[in-house]
Copies of this chain bind each other. A is one copy, B any other.
Amino acid sequence: MKIELIGIDGLPEIAPGADLGDVIVSRITAMGHSLSSSDVLVVTQKIVSKAEGRIVPLSSVEPSPFAALWAKTHHLDARLVELALRESRRIVRMDRGVLITETHHGFVCANAGVDVSNVSGGQTATLLPIDADASARALRAAIAARTGAEMAVVISDTFGRPWREGLVNIALGTAGIEPLHSFVGSTDPHGFSLQATVQAVADEVAAAAGLVSSKLSRTPVVLIKGLTYQRGMGTGRDLLRAPERDLFR
């Protein structure tokens, strides 16, 4: 098997209301790449949030006393702390200036995914899409309408994780791809039954794309060709471990 990861750079600045499907297809076409139903398109959350207007001017944010105290203690921007709290339903860890929360969607990440990098001047914040699966489905439909190619779409973001250093890209939302590939009941090449192997394919897709779309490269879209994947209706939320199944809660 041979897989290609193609970085799509040179996109224009994405403003609220932008037709992201049109922008991406135009750029891919201009770069001379074809689009096929067997492709996977990975799009970083930031440009999806921008297109969906999930942008907040920091000057409009009034921090609560709780946010203000935490920010003052740890030399943080209280407005960003406030936004992170608003985007959260539960605080998972709050220590040494690090705020890890569970977002309203159920994602566990630093600062509820609120980010100021890559936004003009650092004076606005982006929030995660309200429903990244819906974002992925809409983008998939828009691309199919323009090109006829019904490819998989993954919306990615950069998350930290327990136990291990550094950030990796993960799948926030998916469309047209089963995010989990189960080998339960399969037998491996030696005839040994694989009891409990479930591969998080969508997260591996996002991580692979992360190699191309690093923070500094202005490459928010990666086109993946040659990957054999299971088509399906699974969502990025399928990747969230249910609390009753999570040994770490």
Contact = CB atoms under 8 A, between A and B. Distances in A.
Contacts of A116: 192
A108 B238 CA distance: 23
Interface stretch (A14-22, A91-99, A143-151): A91-99
Nearest to A214: B199
Interface in A135-166: 158, 161-166
A165 B241 CA distance: 5
Interface in A215-242: 215-219, 227, 238-241
A183 interface: yes
Nearest to A121: B190
Interface in A3-30: 3-7
A188 B5 CA distance: 22
Contacts of A200: 164-168
Nearest to A96: B247
Nearest to A102: B163
A69 interface: no
Contacts of A246: 162-163
A95 B7 contact: no
A78 interface: no
A212 B248 contact: no
Contact of A210 (B162, B188, B204, B215): B204
B3 A93 contact: no
A190 B118 contact: yes
10 contacts: A2-B7, A3-B211, A161-B163, A165-B240, A166-B201, A169-B204, A186-B215, A189-B216, A197-B215, A208-B208
What 9 A-B pairs have minimum CB-CB distances, sorted nearest first? A166-B200, A208-B208, A207-B207, A162-B248, A1-B7, A3-B5, A122-B192, A108-B163, A93-B247
